[in-house]
Structures are given as structure tokens and as C-alpha cells.
A and B are shown apart, each in its own frame.
Chain A
Amino acid sequence: MENQSARAKSDLSLLAPVLAEYAPQKGSLITILQHAQDIYGYLPADVLFHIAEQTGTTPAKVMGVATFYTQFRFQPVGKYLIQLCDGTACHVNGSAQIAEAIRQHLHIENGGTTADGLFSLNIVACLGCCSLSPVMTVNDDSYGALTPEKAVAILDGLRAKEAAV
């Protein structure tokens, strides 16, 4: 993430309302970072610097907080963010095979994004839908009782939808 150039120019004005609301409230750094990620899709280095400046803290602190939590990303993600649950119930019910199927199908590793920028894969701790295990979410949609074939079919469906547009 440090290699990513701090010179990359993000439109910092987008962040102004967020900073106006939260910067005066102490302890709001995580909230600000969450909003920033919603705006930019990830946390670009210049945005992190800007947040540090505007909140009166140091970049080291902002970086420390941002890299502590798994929610934060430092690279852009694909249009579809696949979150595959590897909670206990999903694990017991075969989430590893689903992960393998997705990896092979999309040719990406956990945390990676497909070359066409369509899909990103994140294996996450627990989505809390244990009874439907194994489960994944793609953006806001949840899919339960997955099999490797079913998971691949869902992704193919999304890809077909994109191709149609």
C-alpha cells in the first residue's frame, strides 16, 4: 500500500461533508475511514493523508488504524465483491471447496481482483448466516447452501449480465 503513489490524485472534495460532520467529534477516525471507503471504493494514500491533516492526527496513526481492521482496503476492488464465509458452520459444511472453485474459476486468490476488474474475492470470518452454510455474499446479495457448482453458476450469471449490458 505504501508503494501506491501518494501522488495519485483523488477528488478530496467528496470527503468534505464527511469531515465536516465527523472531524470535530473525537474518536471518529474509523467512521471517517468507513465513509471514505464508501466514497472511493478503497482508501487511497492521498485520502489517508488528507484525513490525517483534517483530523489533526498523524499519518502514522491513520495508517495504523486503517491497517488494523480487515474492512479497509488499499486497492480498488472489483465491481462485484464476493465475500465467502469461512465461519465454523460454513467451514464444517465445505466452504473450502467453494473457495477452491471460485479461485479456479476466476483465477484469483483471496484478496485479489479479476483482471477485468469485475470480481474481488474476500474470504471472511463469519457472515452470521450459519444455518444456510456455506454462504457467500456478492455485494448486497446473499447466497446460501452453496455447492461449488452453484457458486460458479452465480458468478457466471453475473458475468453474463455484465456482458449483456
Chain B
Amino acid sequence: MSIRIAVGQGSCGIAAGAAKVFAALEQQLAGSAVSLGTVGCIGMCWLEPIVDLYEDNRLAARLVRICPDDAARIAEAARTGDLSGIAGLTISAEDSRFLEQQTRIALRNCGIIDPNSLESARAAGGYAALEAVLTGKGMTPEEVIACIKVSGLAGRGGAGFPTWFKWNAARQSPGDEKYLICNADEGDPGAFMDRAVIESDPHTLIEGMLIGAYAIGAKEAVVYVRAEYPLAIRRLSHAIDEAKAAGLIGQHILGTDFSCEFRIKAGAGAFVCGEETALIESLEGQRGMPRLKPPFPAAAGYWQKPSNINNVETFANVAWIIQHGGEAFAAMGTEGSKGTKVFALTGKIQRSGLVEIPMGMTLREVIFGIGGGVRDGRQFKAVQLGGPSGGCVPAELLDTVIDYKELSATGAIMGSGGMVVMDDTTCMVSMAKFFLDFTAKESCGKCVHCRIGTKRMQEILDRIVSGDGKPEDLDLLEELCLAVRDGALCGLGQTAPNPVLTALRYFRPEFEAHTAVEKRCPAHACAALLQYEIDAEKCRGCTACARKCPVGAIAGNVRQPHTIDKNQCIRCGACFAACRFDAVSRL
């Protein structure tokens, strides 16, 4: 019996200390026969660092929240095969349910294979689909497109456009020089699906892209990755090198007539480059300002040549579809949305991480079933989908099923997969402002509606959370939102109002409370709208609050109840945090 140890080392695992755990294990295992390896991210981020013990390639134990001090025990268990000593480190049955309720296609190898090893990827079935397409009986490009059409795969970047249609359009476009581009410029704050796939299973992405390149007739493939993802870039370029050395990339792939070169382009920090025409501008070394459509990239894209752009998750599904058939993929999901979708479940959630589920599951099943509901025993308020382009869905719509159309009907969008849970301490006005701060900062500045419109929306929201809002600001905000949605040039601007519009739609009374005469923030989150008071009954006169108050607004003698001078108070909340007797109340 041989035991293999795998340490999950995605960016977030590393941030949680996985590299130190790895180093400690390496030290402890020096000279032993136990093999120690790296895997990517399994997606159970709240349990990081995670160490898996495999017995003959069967998962024998999943150890969670490991620190370097645990290394000796783990090494001992691995050497002896007696796992009893590490029972306490093992994942709980309840936490295990997080994975058990998922259906993993795009993430099928994540956290299981070694992302730095082609061999590991191939052992897990990597490149089998490419072989099936290119060698033996093979498939024509048209057959590949037909298979994708049957699968119902749609763009996972957010828009949900049928993948086969784009492939077909690029295939049909005249010209020899065509490009296949992968959009890995995952910029939505709160989303990290693409990063996890690239860091954990880069070969699945490469394989999907090669099949796509074959289908549209591209001889060159480019991956545009966010510069903020250095580990993903390192692992992907290593994978490309390995694949090239193995004849899977380059000229005459697998000995066939199909040739395709690969390149990585690192982005330089611009959310708008997630918009496909802006991405192309950026690839060409320009300012990432969107182009007018038409012409669409399928007709004139990168260097004005026919180009096809899909996002990481879309490509990550392709090999599976080829191997299992389009029907198998289409068997999952709803009438209009097929297959699975990956979400990055975060925010005020018990179990946050990567979730891949079949379309058609409800939001409630994902948030409360898989995610375990809201943490710290607080009340669920809303879930934000689709980041700055999306919107919030309130509690009463939790039974909405995950489906492009159903989610759009709520005013939110499927998006690329950001799913941020908010509890009753989250102020929806300030959330809307947060997103507008983001889009206003990320606006490329080209079109008037977005450049000035998002700025003005941000200013109005800023006014409201600062207590300077007027009731009529809400109508003005809404009017501006609708105009920007109608008038902006690209997707970024057109969808920028969504977070505000959905918040206004579902939480208007909360906005009204901010703008009413008495100016209140029901979530107690907007500092400028809060009032602090000391309960004389509870106050012991410990002076902790008075000492913390930065402006000396608290008066009182030792062992006597203290008072806050409201005119002097700057509403910083220091007293509230300092009081050990729950005597300071926030209104």
C-alpha cells in the first residue's frame, strides 16, 4: 500500500498557508517513500489549507485547515498507513456535503490532478477528446460544431450566447488567418472561477481551445489573462511548454495536418478588457477601448481577422462534451440553459468556495444547501450575481432556478459566476455605490453615457450614503440608470446600472430611509447616518469609550455614566467597538 500526499496549492490555498504546509511536509517526509505532490484548488476555500491523502489513487483522507505544525503527524500517518492519528484533522461529514452536492465538469480535475504535470492531466483523461477529434476516425470541424450545438453550451462569461453559433460564424468567415482567443480577464470583483481552472487544470483549457481552434480553422490561439493572476500565468505557460514538447501544440499536432500555436498575453489592469472588442484592442497593444459592433469579431476581430472569443469556463467544458457527447451535456440543466455552471460562492456565507452545479438548481439550494447558509447566524438579505454587471436577488426570490432567462427576469444576470451573499448588516445602497465606484473607475472613458453617466450615478449614491440625499434623487438616479443602459457603447456601460436598478427594485424602502428627512441606514452600515448613544443604565463608567473617541466627544467621570455630544461626534463607531458592556447603542 502506497500513500500519496497532495497539497492544494491554488492562490487562495497558498494565501492560507499551503506553501508552508507543503514545505513542512517535505521536510518531514525527507527520505521516505511517501510521495508528496501539488494539486490545484478543490474549491473548498473555507477549509484551506487542504491536504489529501491518496491510497492507490483513492482518496483516503481529506485533511483540512492544516498548519505546518500538523506536518509531523501527517507524515507519520502517511508513512505508517495508520490514519488514526490524523482523524481529528479530517474533514467533517457535513463539510464533505459541499462537494457531494455538486456536479463537476469544468472543474472535474481541479484539486485532483497536479497542474504542473501533463502526465497527471493525461492520466485523468486529458487530451483524449483532442485525439478523438484529430486521429482515427476523427471529426470534421463541422462535426465538432454540430456536437457543441447539440450540447447547448453557451458562453459562460456572462452573456450566454450559444458557443456553436460563434464558432460557426468564425468558421464561415472567409480568410485563412483566424484567431481563437480565450478571455481569462476575470475582472468581476467576487469571481475567481477562471483563476481556479487555470491554476488547477490548465490542460483542460488548452485542450478545449485546441478543439475550438480546429473547429473554426484558427492556427493561433491566445489566452488573455489578468495580470493580477501571476500563478495562473506561470502554470499556464508551463502547461503550454509541456504540451508543445509533447506535440500537442504547434505544427502537425498529434501528427495530423492541424497546427496551432499558443500565446499568453497578460492584461495590464482594465476591467473593460473583459469586453471582447476591448480585449482585442488590448491584444493589439492599444488602449482597451471597445470598438463599435458591427463588425463583430467573427467577421473582423484580432488584426481585423475573423476571431472567436470564449471564456475559460466555456473552453473547460469542451473536451468533456466531445468525449461524452453533446446529448450528455444537454441532458443536464433546463430547457434554455444546458449543462453545469461554476459559481464562486462568497460573502457572508458559511461555506465559501467554488461550486459547480447543473443548471436548474435553485439559488436556495446553492446558498443554503451547498453553502450552508449565512454565517454567524445572521439573516439572509440578498445574493449578488454577476458582479458590477449583475444585480442582487432578494430573499423572496431565492427559489429562482439557475437559468439564463430566469435569472435575467429578476434583473440580475447569470454573469460569469460571482455569487456574493449578503446578510442583514449589508446596506444595499452602499453595495450599489460600491459597484458604481468600481464601474466608474473602470469606465474606459470613451462614450459619454458611461464616462460621465456612471460618475454621476456614483456621485448621487455617494450623496445618499453620506446623508446628503434628497427624496427626488432616487427618481433622478433611476432615470439616469435607464438612459445609461440604453445609451452606453459597450457591455460595461450598458450593464453598469444593473446593480443600482435591482437594488432600487427590491430595496427601495432602504433607499428611501436614507433620503428621508430623518436619514437612516436600516443596516447600520452607513457611518454618516448613524447616531451613537450611551445607555446610562448599562454604562459602568469604565472610560474605555472616552479614551477611544478621537474627537473627545464623550464626557463623564470614572464610574459614572458617560454621554456623547452628538454635535461633536464624527460617527466613527470607535466607542461602539470599545464598549465591553453593550452600553453604546447605534441607531
**Do A and B interact with each other, yes or no?**
yes
Q: Would you call A130 and B190 a contact (CB within 8 A)?
A: yes
In the bound complex, CA of A72 to CA of B288 (Å): 14
Bound CA span A123–B328, Å: 44
Confirm or deny: B346 has a beta carbon within 8 angstroms of a beta carbon on chain A: yes
CB distance from A45 to the nearest CB of B (A): 18
**Closest approach, in angstroms, between the C-beta of A71 and any C-beta of chain B?**
4
Q: Is the CB of B15 within 8 A of A89?
A: no
| Chain B 189-216 per-residue mask, 1 if CB under 8 angstroms from chain A, else 0 | 1111001000000000000000000000
B283 and A27 contacting across the interface, CB-CB below 8 Å? yes
Alpha-carbon separation in the docked complex, A92 to B420 (Å): 9
- When the two chains form their complex, are residues A131 and B48 in contact, meaning their CB atoms are under 8 A apart? yes
Interface contact A88-B346, CB-CB below 8 Å: yes
Contact assessment for A87 and B189 in the assembled complex, using a CB-CB cutoff below 8 Å: yes
Contact A132 B190 (CB under 8 A): no
Q: Do A135 and B268 form a contact, CB below 8 Å, given A27-B285, A125-B189?
A: no
Chain B residues, CB < 8 A from A28: 285
Q: Does A31 lie within 8 Å of B15, measured CB to CB? A: no
Report the separation of the CA atoms of residues A64 and B434 in the bound assembly, to the nearest whole angstrom: 27
The stretch of B291-299, B347-355, B541-549 that contacts the partner chain: B347-355
Q: Does A129 contact B (CB under 8 A)?
A: yes
| Contact A69 B270, CB 8 Å, known A89-B190, A126-B190, A135-B15 | yes
Q: Which residue of A lies closest to B499 (CB)?
A: A88
Q: How far is the CB of B87 from chain A (nearest CB, A)?
A: 25
Cross-chain contact B268 with A72 (CB below 8 angstroms)? yes
Q: Are B268 and A30 in contact (CB under 8 A)?
A: yes
Q: Given the complex, which residues of B lie within 8 Å of A40, measured CB to CB?
A: none
In the bound complex, what is the Cα–Cα distance between A58 and B180 (angstroms)?
A: 30
A121: interface (CB < 8 Å): no
A68-B287, A87-B190, A126-B187 are known contacts. Are A144 and B15 too (CB-CB below 8 A)? yes
Asked if residues A34 and B268 are in contact (CB atoms below 8 Å), the reply is: yes
In the bound assembly, the distance between CA atoms of A29 and B270 in angstroms comes to 15
The reply to whether the CB of B54 lies closer than 8 angstroms to some CB of chain A is no
CB distance from B359 to the nearest CB of A (A): 22
Return the chain B residue nearest A69 by Cβ.
B268
Least distance between A15 CB and chain B CB atoms (Å): 16
- Residues of B contacting A79 in the complex (Cβ-Cβ under 8 angstroms): none
B384 on the interface (CB 8 Å rule)? Answer: yes
A127 sits at the interface (CB 8 A): yes
Report Cα–Cα, A142/B15, bound state, in Å.
5
Residues A128 and B228 in contact, CB atoms below 8 Å apart: yes
**Quick one: which of A26, A91, A92, A125 contacts B271, CB cutoff 8 A?**
A125
Considering the chains assembled together, what is the distance between the CA atoms of A19 and B238 in angstroms? 24
Indicate if B169 sits at the interface (CB-CB under 8 A).
no
B-contacting residues, A106-154, CB 8 Å = 124-133, 135, 137, 140, 142-145
Contact A29 B15 (CB under 8 A): no
B11, CB-defined interface residue at 8 Å: yes
Q: Are A91 and B287 in contact (CB under 8 A)?
A: no
Interface residues of B in 275-318 (CB under 8 A from A): 282-289, 303
CA distance in complex: A165, B259 (Å): 53
* Chain B residues, Cβ within 8 Å of A140: 230
Give chain B residues whose Cβ lies under 8 Å from the Cβ of A131.
12, 45-46, 48, 346, 352-353
Count residues of chain A with CB under 8 A from any CB of chain B: 40
Nearest to A131 among chain B residues (CB) is B45
CB of B507 within 8 Å of the partner chain: no
Q: B448-478, CB under 8 A of A: which get 1 and which 0?
A: 0000000000000000000000000000000
A128 touching B195 in the complex, CB below 8 Å, given contacts A68-B444, A88-B434: yes
Q: Which residues of chain B are within 8 angstroms of A130 by Cβ–Cβ distance?
A: 12, 45, 190-192, 344, 346, 352, 420
- Decide yes or no whether A102 CB sits under 8 A from chain B: no
B177 shortest CB reach to chain A, Å: 13
Smallest CB separation, B489 vs chain A (Å): 16
Fill in one digit per residue for B550-564: 1 if any A CB lies within 8 Å of its CB, else 0.
000000000000000
**Within 8 Å CB of A142, what residues of B?**
11-12, 14-15
Q: Which residues of A contact B189 (CB under 8 A)?
A: 86-91, 125-126
1/0 contact trace for B324-351 toward A, CB 8 Å? 0000000000000000000010111000
Instruction: Tell me, yes or no, whether B186 is within 8 Å of chain A by CB.
Output: yes
Q: Which residues of A contact B186 (CB under 8 A)?
A: 128
B95 within 8 A of A: no
Does A33 contact B268, Cβ atoms closer than 8 Å?
yes
Q: Give complex CA distance A70, B267 in Å.
A: 10
- Could you say which of B12, B227, B348, B444 contacts A92, with CB atoms under 8 Å apart? B348
Quick check: is B26 within 8 A (CB to CB) of the other chain? no
The answer for the CA separation of A26 and B285 in the assembled complex, in Å, is 8
Listed A/B pairs (21) with beta-carbon separation below 8 Å: A29-B286, A31-B266, A69-B269, A70-B270, A71-B268, A71-B269, A72-B268, A88-B190, A89-B190, A91-B434, A92-B346, A93-B348, A125-B228, A126-B189, A126-B192, A128-B12, A128-B228, A130-B12, A130-B191, A131-B12, A142-B12
For the complex of A and B, the 3 pairs showing the least CB-CB separation, nearest first, are A131-B45, A142-B15, A88-B190
Could you list which residues of chain A lie within 8 angstroms of chain B, going by C-beta atoms?
26-31, 33-34, 64-65, 68-72, 86-93, 124-133, 135, 137, 140, 142-145
11 more A-B contacts (CB under 8 A) besides A34-B266, A72-B269, A130-B344? A26-B285, A27-B303, A69-B268, A88-B190, A88-B347, A125-B442, A128-B229, A130-B45, A132-B12, A137-B15, A144-B12
